[in-house]
Amino acid sequence: MAGIKYLSGFGSEFASEDPKYPGALPVGQNSPQKPPYGLYAEQLSGSAFTAPRQDNKRSWLYRIRPSVIHKPFTKYDDSKYLTHNWNEQHPNPNQLRWQPFNIPLEKDGIVDFVNGLHTVCGAGDPCSRNGIAIHVYVCNGSMKNSAFYNSDGDFLIVPQQGRLKVTTEFGIMIVDPNEICVIQQGMRFAVEVDGPSRGYILEVFDGHFKLPDLGPIGANGLASPRDFLTPVAHFEDKEIKNFKIIDKYQGTLFVALQDHSPFDVVAWHGNYVPYKYDLKNFMVINSVSFDHCDPSIFTVLTCQSTKPGVAIADFVIFPPRWSVQEDTFRPPYYHRNCMSEFMGLILGSYEAKEGGFLPGGASLHSMMSPHGPDGGCFEAATNAELVPQKVAVGTQAFMFESSLSMKVTKWGEITCQKLDPKYYECWQSLKKHFNEKLKL
């Protein structure tokens, strides 16, 4: 969109000031006695003060008023399907698949991004800062005179339908389907939409998303740091009566009123920033001889646990690419995993399922629950001529993969009415081919 500017890089120390106010950013120190233009200096910490340097995250905001000017928080009741209560339902190890989640219609009234948050599944606890939640948002209107922040962790937002205009304290981002954005813990933002909108959210209660290490791949490949975009400073100086600040705190929403816009940051600097990424920029790596690489080869971002190489959650995509492996069953292998796999589809149709997995829908293959290509896909791939083939053209599936064992919410299992009870049938047509005369 014209007029929206970004800074390029991942994990970088950025500095930005609204071009109409040159010199708004103090030089040489973070909190001068009197910052330029009469601004207040406020630090936003995204890590413990004493975190190792490579993990240390903070930004300094130079704003018209400090964030503390608001009335007391009270409970906010307009988002009844957001929850971190994982005990609403009995555990369910079945393979689960959801038809596309409903987007509210005009007759349902205006539903904005916050009111349209619905939790599908998750594990852990934001109080002890360990766990994840997977939400979908479905909305038909923009947030008006309100802003949201998450005290519990970071949001990785995957729009599936509808463009998002995300106004943050750091500036404005336009995020289209097939792009993602990450809004980290505590950052205030508001979402405007053009019309019916839907997407997925991966929330992590601890740590932040990083680029995966590349090991023997070398310095280049997968998602490149230069393709991550952070907004430039942009502010409004507005008195707005009863502006709502909505806080997700310990899994519950609260609202506080104030009489001004919180998007009043004239300049900022730091390495704790919101960012967006266009998935079409992902450089796909894969086998060019035989067999499969594991899907970790498609990792865009990872939030690591304290165990080496074990992710609290990975964000993985399955982009258009060439499939060239010789003597190989090319669709994803049959699999049982010590991780949980939640998948969604942004556009097109997924290569390992002939039907039923649709854009705006989802699937969950829980810990050690077997999964893999359906009967039709197996037969076709087993007998296909193995010539180089472009796969996943016009599609974008993704996976949130977690080392945590997730539970499904009541909304996810019952209320949304999108769970497909016949999902298991897609594997029932898989035939026995065992024949002692068929030794190759």
Residues that bind Fe ion (CB under 5 A): 335, 337, 341
Spell out the residues 6+ positions from residue 390 whose beta carbon is closer than 8 angstroms to its own. 320, 321, 322, 323
Residue showing the smallest CB distance to Fe ion in the complex: 335
Distance (Å, whole) CA 178 – CA 198: 12
Smallest distance from Fe ion to CB 366, Å: 11
Catalytic residue among 42, 371, 401, 413: 371
292 belongs to the catalytic site: yes
Question: Is the C-alpha dihedral spanning 267, 269, 273, 277 positive or negative?
Answer: positive
Q: Judged by CB, which is closer to Fe ion: 83, or 302? A: 302
Parallel, antiparallel, or unpaired: how do β-strands 96-98 and 321-323 relate? Answer: unpaired
- Least distance in angstroms from the C-beta of 406 to Fe ion: 14
Q: Is 90 a catalytic residue?
A: no
Burial 40-54 (b: 16+ CB within 10 A, else e): bbbebebbeeeeeee
Residue 84 known to be catalytic: no
CA dist 423 and 296 (Å) reads 25
365 is catalytic: yes
Instruction: Kindly list the distances between the CA atom of residue 18 and the CA atoms of 21, 24, 45, 62, 231, in Å, as whole numbers in the listed order.
Output: 6, 8, 22, 11, 11
Q: How far is the CB of 97 from Fe ion (least distance, A)?
A: 14
Distance CA 8, CA 5 (A): 10
367/386 with CB nearer Fe ion = 367
> Would you list the DSSP string of 174-205?
EE-TTEEEEE-TT--EEEEESSSEEEEEEEES
Choice among 341, 351, 401, 413 that is catalytic: 341
In the complex, what is the shortest distance from the CB of residue 333 to Fe ion, in angstroms, rounded to a whole number?
Answer: 8
Please pick, among 70, 208, 234, 365, the residue that the annotation labels catalytic. Answer: 365
Indicate if 335 belongs to the active site: yes
The CB-of-311 to Fe ion minimum distance in angstroms stands at: 14
Distance in angstroms (rounded) separating the CA atoms of residues 58 and 50 = 11
Using the minimum distance from each CB to Fe ion, give the nearer residue, 240 or 391: 391
- Of 337 and 349, the one with the shorter C-beta distance to Fe ion is 337
- Residue 365 near residue 98 (C-beta atoms within 8 A): no
Which of the residues are catalytic?
A: 292, 335, 341, 365, 371
